[in-house]
Amino acid sequence: MDDDLRARVDFLREALAYHQYQYHVLDRPEIADAEYDKLFDELLQIEIEYPEAAGENSPTARVGAAPLAEFEKVRHRRPMLSLDKCTTIEALEQWVERCGTRLATDQPIALTCEPKIDGVAVALQYRRGQLVLAATRGDGDEGENILANVKTVGAIPMQLLGSGHPELMEVRGEIYIGLEDFKAFNERALARGDRPLVNPRNGAAGSLRQLDSRVTATRPLTMFCYSLGWAEGGWAPQTQVEVLERFSSWGLRTNPMVELIQDTTKLGQYLAKLSDQRQHLGYEIDGAVIKVNDLNQQRLLGSVTRKPRWAIAFKFPAEEATSVLEEVVFQVGRTGAVTPVARLQPTFVGGVTVTQATLHNMDEVKRLDLHIGDRVWIRRAGDVIPQVANVILNARPDDATPVRAPTHCPVCSAKIVRANDEVVARCSASRDQCPAQLKEGLRHFVSRLALDVEGLGDKLIEQLVTEKLVTNAADLFTLSRASLVGLERMGEKSADNLLAALERSRKTTLPRFVYALGIREVGEATALALARHFFTIEALMEANLEHLEAVPDVGPVVALSIQQFFALDDHKDLVRALQEAGVTWPEVEREDAQAPLAGETWVLTGSLERFNRSKAKALLVSLGAQVAGSVSKKTAVVVAGTDAGSKLVKAQELGIRVISEQQLVNLFEENNIAL
């Protein structure tokens, strides 16, 4: 490659980086897309011809690279913390006051106020201005290197602009998808027949989890940078404002709504303004973040239990809007539970269009005195399913009709019954008799934590049930190639794949099998506890209430539900049929009576600092303990972390031994468990 060409490559790179910045960071493109593409293609051509010209951080790397086998783990040099929250101005003012007390100053504390972006936190490392690493938050101490994915985000410079870059620094911020981009992306996805993204936050998180960065490159991600993780070699900023100003001068995208406030009385104004603007920002926020501006003061304030004392999140109340109730439909679940769902006139609430809301149960419908045609308040908080909060009674039209509880299952027409003390109404048909229950039961049976049958999706289940090829879970294992190939959209290859997946899932484990049965109240954790306690399915099927209640975390309600399940001949037959169809599992290992904590049930409560809960749990299990979620007479020991609440109180009431996190650490160390 000659000097002229080298110079051309440098020119193209710089030009492309500049135009990317104008477009993605400043939102002020100076050239048309086609012109940009021309420059891009020219560079790409040269790089193909002269592979030595292709640097890692070339603008051409934005299109993504070959898929990774897995993400590399990265330990954060300084933990990525979470934030304390408050919801009232009073609480916010108290926080400012506490900062003053801790800093022993009666001078006003300068604060920055910023929107709290609802996206995914990431940490970017720049070495002498070059992007060299990008990590997810993970558990705060250890995340994953998602550099290949992050390089596809146009707003993130691979090479910083300007000068004066430190030797190495970590920039932290939030990657998100803007609302317009989200809508446009989903419209395109639907037009292609692809699955749309559930919501912007989920979409951002899912996109960053892709092992194939070429997929990430198709997602409209962008980023706001909001804090400095750390810096070494040549930059020691004094304030948060200085950090953000420098970030922008280096081409890092920062939020234009950041304000410096010298006076606490201005906090309310800022929050009111932000709340007013919320609908027009073009991205989802769930509140504001207030930070102490002076970085030295931040250091003095420090942090407690993974939350800094120098910052706090002010959360906006859940978002509300009104709509009109058009219809109430009744959905039948796997256990026959009948759930009313409100169909609504489409309404835009907090960035998404809502057309349905859950009504939970008939009691809720009664409480609301819901009528078809009513104008209702819809509330949506973050990711949760929208809810009908209230009815606007004086807007009720004359022809509004009350919502009546169905007397018969909308799917199989069996009677709907409601046990005296239960809120839930249920279809009285057995699972095999009601197609809705059967479908939901099968969905559960093949789900990932159950038998994990790959490729058996909702549509296929629907067909199998409608065509009566499957009347219970055991029938899945008798499906033949010939019967499958006759189904819609089922080629020979897919049929073979499905049969192979079923074959694989025949070999399972007892906990998965118990969970897969779909017994009411028996989740994954309870299934595990049951398997560990009874060792065989036969013993579980024969257990009486007393035996069942001896299992950690199994109380009277769960015990009764298990007993009732196996009292039905249909269910006993199902278990037998599944075993006859070749579903097997290895024998459950008998608890090692020698294990130090054999036979003991432990409970963890409060937050732990040295490890996360699942790690602590796994370590306890490795010592032979069973770990339960609630404290009862069966509990041997409760480990109380910071902010332990009602479980600690209960343990004290019952006189159960309580130990600290440090004592737990000591126990692990005594047993040669390295942390």
- Catalytic residue numbers read 116
Closest CB to ligand IVH among 143 and 308? 308
Please pick, from the candidates 121, 244, 338, 372, the single residue that binds ligand IVH as defined by CB under 6 A.
121
What is the length of the chain?
675
Q: Nearest approach, Cβ of 302 to ligand IVH (angstroms)?
A: 11
> Is 435:463 a contact under the CB 8 Å cutoff?
no
CA distance 335 to 430: 9
DSSP 529-598: HHHHHH-SHHHHHH--HHHHHTSTT--HHHHHHHHHHHHSHHHHHHHHHHHHTT-B-PPPPPP-TTSTTT
Within 10 angstroms of residue 103's Cβ, the number of other Cβ atoms is 18
With respect to ligand IVH, which residue has the nearer C-beta, 119 or 154?
119
CA angle 50, 53, 56 (to 5 degrees): 130
* Piece in contact with ligand IVH (CB under 6 A), picked from 29-37, 114-122, 239-247, 344-352: 114-122
Identify the residue among 117, 147, 228, 608 touching ligand IVH (CB under 6 A): 117
| Shortest distance, position 226 Cβ to ligand IVH, whole Å | 4
Should residue 440 be labelled a site residue for ligand IVH when binding is judged by CB under 6 A?
A: no
Name 7's Cβ contacts closer than 8 Å, sequence gap at least 6: none
**What contacts 235, CB < 8 A, 6 or more positions away?**
164, 165, 166, 169, 246
Contact flag: residue 313 with ligand IVH (CB under 6 A):
yes
Q: Least Å distance between CB 407 and ligand IVH?
A: 47
- Closest approach, Cβ 25 to ligand IVH, in A, equals 17
Name the residue nearer to ligand IVH (CB basis): 308 or 340: 308
How far is residue 12's CA from residue 37's CA, in Å, rounded to a whole number?
Answer: 11
Residue among 117 and 411 whose Cβ is closer to ligand IVH: 117
Contact range with ligand IVH by CB under 6 A, out of 57-65, 116-124, 348-356, 653-661: 116-124
- Tell me the closest approach of the beta carbon of residue 315 to ligand IVH, in angstroms: 9
C-alpha 523/C-alpha 519 separation (Å) is 8
C-beta closer to ligand IVH: residue 226 or 611: 226
HSE (side-chain half, CA atoms, 13 Å) at 574? 26
Nearest distance from C-beta of residue 295 to ligand IVH, angstroms: 13
Q: Which is nearer to ligand IVH, 118 or 600 (CB)?
A: 118
Q: Does 114 engage in binding with ligand IVH (CB under 6 A)?
A: yes
Check binding of 144 to ligand IVH (CB under 6 A): no
Q: What share of the chain is helix, strand, coil (3-state, %, to 5)?
A: 40, 25, 40
Instruction: Name the minimum Å distance from CB 293 to ligand IVH.
Output: 13
Element (H, E) at 602: strand 601-605
Q: Which of residues 618-657 bind ligand IVH (CB under 6 A)?
A: none
Angle at alpha carbon of residue 616, lines to 614 and 622, rounded to 5°: 100
Per CB under 6 A, 260 contacts ligand IVH: no
Q: Which helix (H) or strand (E) holds 130?
A: strand 130-136
Q: Is 661 in the site for ligand IVH (CB under 6 A)?
A: no
The residue number with the shortest CB distance to ligand IVH is 121
Exactly one of 153, 160, 289, 548 binds ligand IVH (CB under 6 A); that residue is 289
In the bound state with ligand IVH, the residue whose beta carbon lies nearer, of 302 and 556, is 302
Nearer Cβ to ligand IVH, position 116 or 246? Answer: 116
- Near ligand IVH by CB under 6 A: residue from 149, 186, 199, 227: 227
Pick the stretch among 200-208, 306-314, 515-523, 573-581 that binds ligand IVH (CB under 6 A): 306-314
Nearer to ligand IVH, 307 or 506 (CB): 307
CA diameter of the chain: 87
Task: Report angle CA 441, 443, 445 to the nearest 5 degrees.
Answer: 65
Phi, psi (deg, nearest 5) at residue 269: -60, -45
CA distance 294 to 374: 52
Instruction: CB nearer to ligand IVH: give 117 or 531.
Output: 117
The closest alpha carbon to 316, from 284, 294, 348, belongs to 284
Applying CB under 6 A, which part among 109-117, 352-360, 599-607, 650-658 lies near ligand IVH? 109-117
Q: Smallest distance, Å, CB 277 to ligand IVH?
A: 15
One of 226, 250, 330, 477 touching ligand IVH (CB under 6 A): 226
> Counting contacts by CB under 6 A, is residue 229 touching ligand IVH?
no
Residues in 590-619 at the binding interface with ligand IVH, rule: CB under 6 A:
none
CB of 308 to ligand IVH, least distance (A): 4
The two beta strands, 635-640 and 657-660, are parallel
Question: Is residue 116 near ligand IVH by the rule CB under 6 A?
Answer: yes
Nearer to ligand IVH, 83 or 378 (CB): 83
Amino acid, single-letter form, for residue 635: T
- What the block records as the tokens of 76 is 């954060």
* Residue 327: CA count within 13 A, CB half-sphere: 6
308 binds ligand IVH (CB under 6 A): yes
* Cβ nearer to ligand IVH, comparing 311 with 531: 311
| CA–CA dist 315, 338 (Å, integer) | 34
For residue 579, which of 492, 510, 662 has the smallest C-alpha distance? 510
CB of 211 to ligand IVH, least distance (A): 23
Site for ligand IVH in 167-186 (CB under 6 A): 174
Give min distance, CB of 307 to ligand IVH, in A. 7
Q: Distance (Å, rounded) from C-alpha 317 to C-alpha 356? A: 21
The answer to whether 231 contacts ligand IVH (rule: CB under 6 A) is no
269: left (phi over 0), alpha (psi -120 to 50) or beta: alpha
In eight-state DSSP terms, residue 22 is I
Count the residues of the shown chain that bind ligand IVH, applying the rule CB under 6 A.
14
Q: Are 460 and 497 in contact, with CB atoms under 8 Å apart?
A: no
Supply the minimum distance, in Å, between the C-beta of residue 75 and ligand IVH.
17
Window 75 to 104, contacts with ligand IVH (CB under 6 A): 81-83
Of 252, 311, 473, 578, the one binding ligand IVH by CB under 6 A? 311
Sign of the Cα pseudo-torsion (277, 280, 286, 288, in order)? negative
**Residues of this chain that bind ligand IVH (CB under 6 A):** 81-83, 114, 116-117, 121, 174, 226-227, 289, 308, 311, 313
